[in-house]
Structure 1
Amino acid sequence: MLSRSGITISPRSRSYSGENRGGWACGNWFEFLLVVVVASILLLGALGLVIFWVFYYRNGVGWLDEPELLFNYHPILMIGGFITLSGFSVLMYRICRCCRRIYVKLLHTFFHLLAMPCIALGFIAVLESHNRATPEPIPNFYSLHSWMGFVTMGLFALQFVVGFFSFLVLLCCESATASFRAALVPIHATFGITTFLLAVATCLTGLTEKVIFTLKSEYSGLPEEGIVVNALAMVLVAIAIFVSYALARHEFKYKSHMLVSIQSDL
């Protein structure tokens, strides 16, 4: 029997983990790098594409005296916060799979912290643009997109509070709270990917709503702007696929997660 950090490893588990390490041949590394690199490119590509759409087709962004341009902050900030930054946050446990766990947690938290002001400002931008619209204000929270967005923001905030409390604050009493934090890991992870996928779905409904309202009957003719928006939507769908695959693939998990998983099967 071997023991390290309170985890007992039997010869069986040592052999099993050795087989897993041996399984990381060229094909495994190629799969891992392909998924992570493509996911990262897509996350950055979504942000770049929405910025291109807003500035090339929607006349850029404006301030309070230009409600239509003020609205344009909304898609940029929401995709930047909910998709790009949150996407990299959840991918940290795959990209940094060989780093010390505490560093991965801090990077995970850092990207979440960057996403929060983006989401908050994007929410304020759409409210202000609706309230300042002329000749009369646009109603808020009537569409499916707005309802989904409200739920997504609530889950995102709840995830951050639970994660901050259980995985950062409780680390001050690491030995006393180890079992409690371990029990929260699968719950936190499940709600994390659920929130991310819901964010993707919310962005898709928002893009559809916006393009129908702005292009109206022209959209059925698939104009150039419609193609760009559809391409952005397909990038978001691809992000959902690649990020979900990266998180679901057992072999891609952070190496200490694999060790605990192996031990629990014995």
Structure 2
Amino acid sequence: MNSSFVILVGLAELAGLAGMGLTITWMIKYLGGFGWDGFAKQFNVHPLMMTVGMIFINGNALMLYRVTLSLNLPRIIVKFCHLGLQLLAAGCGSIGLAAVFGYHKNIGASDLYSFHSWVGLTTFIMFGIQLLFGFLFFILFFFLLPRSENLRGRFLPIHVFFGKMILILATITTCMGIQEKAMFAMADKYKDIPVQALIAHAAGISFTIFTFIVMYIMSNDSYKAQSRRDGYHLQANST
């Protein structure tokens, strides 16, 4: 594992953690904290869970194949770890959606009233489909249809492409949501760019940097595994 790769992964993790830390600071210091009360505290669960799940955990799941190269783990184990992280991301996202839909219902507000919500729900549905098809092709087919390696090999580029696109869409959705919430929360102060706005914007920038680095790592051939055969009879450098 070369030094530039280690540095990039470290920077990605720092950016992701910074984004989550800034989001938590914004929610606790300025927006009342977290809870499941049907009101503002419940809404605050939504941005936290969506960013933790759909950006940070999801992004780490994408990088997992690169990060585990030096550990020389069997690829079936890496794939189960990848699936586990994606399931965890889906769980966080589900809690985040339940929080915001419950909040809207409790206060009598309409659902899906903004472009942020439409893009966000579309992204989450895409993530669910991606998770389902990934499980079918790379886990279930492996055990039930051991001769399906050619089919799985043809599906792999599609799976990788949509994995990248979903992370990008999740980050775009997050930035739109930050802007929307900042405008609502600081409607009478926003023109002065208060500290709260700076924290919110810094969180969005941090998540953007995290995604940018993850995309670079995923797209750089020098960080891919060398070709080797595994339980799937697929090239390790495909993912």
Whether contact under 8 Å (1:67, 1:129) holds in the other structure is yes
TM (norm. structure 2) is 0.91
Report the number of matched residues: 231
1:82 aligns with 2:54: yes
1:228 aligns with 2:199: yes
* One-letter amino acid of the structure 2 residue matched with residue 57 of structure 1: Y
Q: Please, which of 76, 93, 106 is the counterpart of residue 132 of structure 1? A: 106
SS at match of 2:147: helix
- Matched residues in 1 for 2:228 and 2:202: separation? 36
Per-residue CA deviation, residues 95-142 of structure 1 (Å, 9 max, x unaligned), is 112332112111111111111111111101101111112xxx221112
**What displacement does 1:183 show?**
0.8
Larger radius of gyration: 1
The residue number in structure 2 matching 1:6 is none
1:69 aligns with 2:69: no
- Point out 4+ residue stretches in structure 1 off by more than 3 angstroms: 256-262
1:117 aligns with 2:87: no
Higher normalized contact order (CA 8 Å, seq sep 6+, divided by chain length): 2
Gaps of 5+ in 2: none
The residue number in structure 2 matching 1:104 is 78
**Could you say if the C-alpha distance between residues 125 and 33 of structure 1 is closer, same or farther in structure 2, counting changes exceeding 3 Å?**
same
1:192-231 equivalences in 2 (<5 Å): 192-231=163-202
* One-letter amino acid of the structure 1 residue matched with residue 175 of structure 2: L
Superposed CA RMSD in Å reads 1.9
Whether contact under 8 Å (1:43, 1:87) holds in the other structure is no
Whether contact under 8 Å (1:97, 1:255) holds in the other structure is no
Percent identity among equivalent residues? 29
1:111-190 equivalences in 2 (<5 Å): 111-133=85-107, 137-173=108-144, 175-190=146-161
* One-letter amino acid of the structure 2 residue matched with residue 112 of structure 1: Q
Per-residue CA deviation, residues 198-234 of structure 1 (Å, 9 max, x unaligned), is 0000001001000001101311211010010010011
**What displacement does 1:255 show?**
2.6
Gaps of 5+ in 1: 1-23
SS at match of 2:189: helix
**Could you say if the C-alpha distance between residues 174 and 254 of structure 1 is closer, same or farther in structure 2, counting changes exceeding 3 Å?**
farther
